[in-house]
Amino acid sequence: MTATQLADVRDGEAAGSGFGHWVAVRRGVLVLYFISLGVWSAHYGIPGQHQVVVAWVCGALACASLGRPWREVLRLVRDWLPVMILLTAYDFTRGAADSLGIGVHVHVMIDFDRFLFFGTTPTEWLQAHLNDPNVVNWLDVAFTLIYTSYFIVPFVVAGFLWARDRLEFLRFSRRIVTLFAGGLATYIAFPAAPPWMAADMGLLHGVARTTSDGWKVIGGGTSGLFDEGQASVNLVAAVPSLHSAFTMLVALFLWPRVRRPLRPLLLLYPLAMALTLMATGEHYFFDVLVGWMYAGSVMGGWAWWERRRKRRTAGRRVATSPLTACGGQFRGLRTGTSGASPAQDSARYPTVDQVGVVDPPAEHEPTAR
């Protein structure tokens, strides 16, 4: 979606404002806003914190809401404020989850990967074949950008959904919040060491943490922010991999909403993220697989709840329809469920099948003359 398209979304709501140039105003403001974002990112670095990304997305949506009714701006705050609060709580509790005294799991992930991949872990194999500790190449840059996209893509998608269809945004935001909550609960209950930490313990060989290497080529202020962020969070929050979980969530949610020829491209995103996570020493395949399972469970659970809610809503509508409301006029019709035998029911009350469809009697029969 371009700035022009974003400015045009739901423009009909501002038709009665009396000012006929709001579309042009929104386009101009959005262009300036994105230029400001580019300058800010060049100076301070690409946003790598969820709250900062959400703030920039909401700013763009606020610019796109200029000239529209105030209730839309209030709706923007109401819809996104809970997400911001929950993300802040997630980051705070995630950083404290490793101080609860629960032992860190190390061998489960290694044993699983070695069993599945013939005695070695994908991380060891990939770093042996792709990583050169003395040279930062284009592959390192690609891995860094793919890894960083996790902090941005889900919330940019949420912003586009809010601009296009608020109901779709609400569905997507439920899944985001649930996935974060599930990941946090698992981090607390199952602290797990990532591959680079296992290598520091001597359990893996030739594995280093290389997710930030690409910033050495790209430059800017992102490298420092990135390193600070990695050092300040829970270092044993490895299972599930929320990077793999959220990329899969985005792909699964958008799958039925994009054209069929584009669907295979959606799957490339979680696959590229999985390769990145294993090649940079951040996660085992075990972590990635559990993340995919969490994403699938969240999608399936909410889809079931939404179908159930839709059926219940449809049932209530049928129960309050005019035809149902007239049911009191036909109390003499029974279907044989009074508790008596079918013969007794048939004798006491005619069933619908026995009565059939008949015309109601006229109030006054004409007299013969």
* Alpha-carbon gap, residue 301 to 368, rounded angstroms: 70
CA angle 45, 47, 51 (to 5 degrees): 150
Three-state secondary structure call for residue 347: helix
pLDDT in tens, 7-26: 555 554 444 455 557 888 88
Mean pLDDT of 313-341: 57
pLDDT in tens, 179-205: 999 998 898 889 999 999 999 999 999
What does the DSSP 8-state code read for residue 120? S
At residue 295, the pLDDT reads: 97
pLDDT in tens, 262-282: 999 999 999 999 999 999 999
Statement: residue 303 has pLDDT above 90: yes
In the numeric block, the tokens 């802040």 are attached to 88
Q: Return the structure tokens found at 76.
A: 């923007």
* Alpha-carbon gap, residue 277 to 115, rounded angstroms: 19
In the numeric block, the tokens 């949610």 are attached to 253
In the numeric block, the tokens 């284009």 are attached to 138
In the numeric block, the tokens 């950083």 are attached to 95
pLDDT in tens, 55-76: 999 999 999 888 888 888 889 9
Statement: residue 322 has pLDDT above 90: no
Crossing angle, helix 263-279 and helix 138-149, to 10 degrees?
110
Statement: residue 226 has pLDDT above 70: no
Work out the end-to-end distance of the chain between its first and last CA atoms, rounded to an integer number of angstroms: 80
Residue with more model confidence, 246 or 215:
246
* Alpha-carbon gap, residue 139 to 134, rounded angstroms: 14
At residue 23, the pLDDT reads: 85
Cβ–Cβ under 8 Å, residues 183 and 240: yes
Q: Write the CB contacts of 109 (distance below 8 Å, at least 6 apart in sequence).
A: 192, 238, 239, 284, 286, 287
For residue 143, count CB atoms less than 10 angstroms from its CB and return exposed for 0-12, middle for 13-18, buried for 19 or more. Answer: buried
At residue 357, the pLDDT reads: 43
Q: How many residues does the chain have?
A: 369
Cα atoms in the 13 Å half-sphere on the side-chain side of 273: 26
Three-state secondary structure call for residue 364: coil
Q: Return the structure tokens found at 357.
A: 């469809």
User: What's the pTM value of the predicted model, to 2 decimals?
Assistant: 0.78
Q: Which of 37-46, 294-303, 308-317 has the highest mean pLDDT?
A: 294-303
What does the DSSP 8-state code read for residue 351? B
* Alpha-carbon gap, residue 273 to 277, rounded angstroms: 6
Rounded to the nearest 5 percent, the helix, strand and coil shares of the chain are 70, 0, 30
* Alpha-carbon gap, residue 163 to 223, rounded angstroms: 32
At residue 5, the pLDDT reads: 54
> Sign of the C-alpha dihedral, residues 358, 359, 363, 368?
negative
* Alpha-carbon gap, residue 348 to 162, rounded angstroms: 59
CA angle 109, 112, 117 (to 5 degrees): 120
Q: What is the mean pLDDT of the chain?
A: 81
Strand-pair partners of 192: 105
Residue with more model confidence, 186 or 315:
186
* Alpha-carbon gap, residue 142 to 148, rounded angstroms: 10
- The region of weakest confidence among 36-50, 133-147, 157-171, 217-231 is 217-231
At residue 106, the pLDDT reads: 94
